[in-house]
Amino acid sequence: MNNLLRNQPMVFPIEKVVIPEAKSFRLNNGVPVYLIEAGTEDIMRLEFIFKAGQVKEYLPLLSSTCNMMLSEGSQNYTSEELNRSLDYYGVFLNQTAEKDRAGIVLFFLNKHIEKVLELSHEILFRPVFPELELNSLMKKRLRWYLVNREKVQNLAIDQFFESIFGKNHPYGYQILEQDFENITPSHLLSFHTKYYTPENMAIIISGKINTKTAELLNSWIGNISSNKTKSEYSVNPVKGEKLKKVHINKSGTVQSAIRIGSVTINKRHPDYPGMKILDSVLGGYFGSRLMKNIREEKGYTYGINSSISSLDLTGYKMISTEVGQKNYKKAIDEIYKEIKLLQTVPVKKEEMEVVRNYMLGEMLRMFDGPFALAESFRSAWEFDLDNSYYYRLAEKIKTIDPDEIIELARTYYNIDDLYEITVGAE
């Protein structure tokens, strides 16, 4: 890059990542509300989050089914009426059930705040879980499941979670066909009563926030009474399976899916920002080593990446790719080779500069606009962290030195600890 004829423009360092602070208050019943004012359009994003994820369930599919059934009929509306009404007011509703948390997110024009709160109240606090709707949902879900189980990437990720978290842990167990027959309305009702409560919930709002929002929230949600059962984690710690390498044979495939990784620290650990940087170097962006080597140099795959993710009880790191049948063993060797390189050879200054600046640019994108802001807020807040976490991350990106990366790679990427899941024709 030194002898360019059309001269390369100056590179301006990204000095400062500015993150707007969220305002917070509590509803009359104690529910915390976080408000992030942002954006230019008259729109809002409203999220209701509950500690009602998979980790709470005592039957497979309970958390996700309870969440999906919220909009299948309430005391005042049938499912059809709820859906029509949401569509009529131009509202986008996402129902989400993750490993730790579950809830709903609504996107709408802020003039419709009152209607949105009325419908949210019905969906969240007055669902009736009708048996007919439940039965037809489970039949549909079984069809979706059967199609998904045809895809090597789904077989691989399901096995990966089982292997790293343990086959009896709610983070890890795999869904079986018969699980779709086991859930009844009374299971849903009791799960809902226990976990969709003011004690277990928080509200995150962003956008051009309608001035009546606080008042309306109190009148729709602030008087929901508590049943005083705060949800507690009584769940066992995660414990990975003994077998580190699992191959699932699936005939007729033209590509094999590969997942390599293990449990690791989560966002609460002081080394986490450094791990984010290490992960970027390895496989976290288009210019990463895995992409450069396995796609851009060798052409084995359309894409390969690594990621590090945080859960409440632990974190995990994972390398994922789909590779042509004849090259997948070579690809696995290259993956381990890249990890070993990170443990032994310091990252050169030029590459360090690229990673630093790419990641700082990524941080600007993480806080650009009301939707991104809310998601970034949530993903720190879930771990009892605030913006200081992001400022710490930005500082680490600017200052980390290559020796520290070697140290992190040696501490957290011990190759003997990694699980290796492959799915495809043998």
Partner 1 sequence: MINYKKFTLENGLRVLIHEDKSTPLIAMNILYDVGSRDEDPEMTGLAHLFEHLMFGGSLNIPDYDTPLQLVGGENNAFTNNDITNYYLTVPSENIETGFWLESDRMLELDFSQKNLDTQRNVVKEEFNQRYLNQPYGDAILKLRPLAYKVHPYRWPTIGMDLDHLQNTNLDKVKSYFFSHYAPNNAILALTGNIEYDQAVNLSQKWFGPIGKREIKPRNLPAEPEQTDERILTIERDVPSTALYKVWHIGPRKSNDFYTIDLITDLLAGGESGRLHTKLVREKKLFSEINAYMTADIDPGLMIVQGKLMKGIDIQQAEESVKEVISGLLNKNEIMDEMEKVKNKFESSTVFSNTSILNKAANLAFYELLGDPGLINKEVDAYRNVSHDMVIETVRKFFIPSNCSTINYISTRKEK
Interactions with partner 1, residue window 112-141 (CB under 8 A): 136, 139-140
The verdict on 387 binding partner 1 (CB under 8 A) reads no
Which of 185, 218, 285, 392 is close enough to bind partner 1 by CB under 8 A? 285
* CA distance linking residue 211 with residue 273, whole number of Å: 37
285: helix, strand or coil: coil
Smaller CB separation from partner 1, 146 or 345: 146
The verdict on 8 binding partner 1 (CB under 8 A) reads yes
- The stretch among 161-169, 265-273, 281-289, 373-381 that binds partner 1 (CB under 8 A) is 281-289
* CA distance linking residue 348 with residue 42, whole number of Å: 47
The verdict on 4 binding partner 1 (CB under 8 A) reads yes
Q: Both tokens of residue 24? A: 């917070």
- The stretch among 123-131, 293-301, 380-388, 401-409 that binds partner 1 (CB under 8 A) is 293-301
Other C-beta atoms within 10 Å of 374: how many? 23
Q: Between residue 296 and residue 325, which ones bind partner 1 under the rule CB under 8 A?
A: 296-302, 322-324
The verdict on 86 binding partner 1 (CB under 8 A) reads yes
Smaller CB separation from partner 1, 59 or 372: 372
Q: How far is CA 244 from CA 121, 218, 332, 420, in A?
A: 46, 51, 14, 6
- The stretch among 20-28, 83-91, 231-239, 266-274 that binds partner 1 (CB under 8 A) is 83-91
The verdict on 213 binding partner 1 (CB under 8 A) reads no
Taking the complex as a whole, how short is the minimal distance between the CB of residue 76 and partner 1, in angstroms? 17
Q: Which residues of 163-292 form beta strands (DSSP E)?
A: 201-207, 245-249, 255-264
Q: 95 with 67: CB under 8 angstroms?
A: yes
The verdict on 144 binding partner 1 (CB under 8 A) reads yes
> Helices (DSSP H) in 236-369: which residue ranges?
272-279, 289-290, 328-344, 349-366
**Position 328: which residue type?**
Y
Taking the complex as a whole, how short is the minimal distance between the CB of residue 405 and partner 1, in angstroms? 17
Q: How many residues bind partner 1 (CB under 8 A)?
A: 76
- CB burial class (10 A; 0-12, 13-18, 19+) of residue 113? buried
Taking the complex as a whole, how short is the minimal distance between the CB of residue 163 and partner 1, in angstroms? 22
* Nearest by Cα to 61 from 179, 212, 203, 209: 179
Which of 98, 114, 118, 362 is close enough to bind partner 1 by CB under 8 A? 362
DSSP character at residue 296: I
The verdict on 147 binding partner 1 (CB under 8 A) reads yes
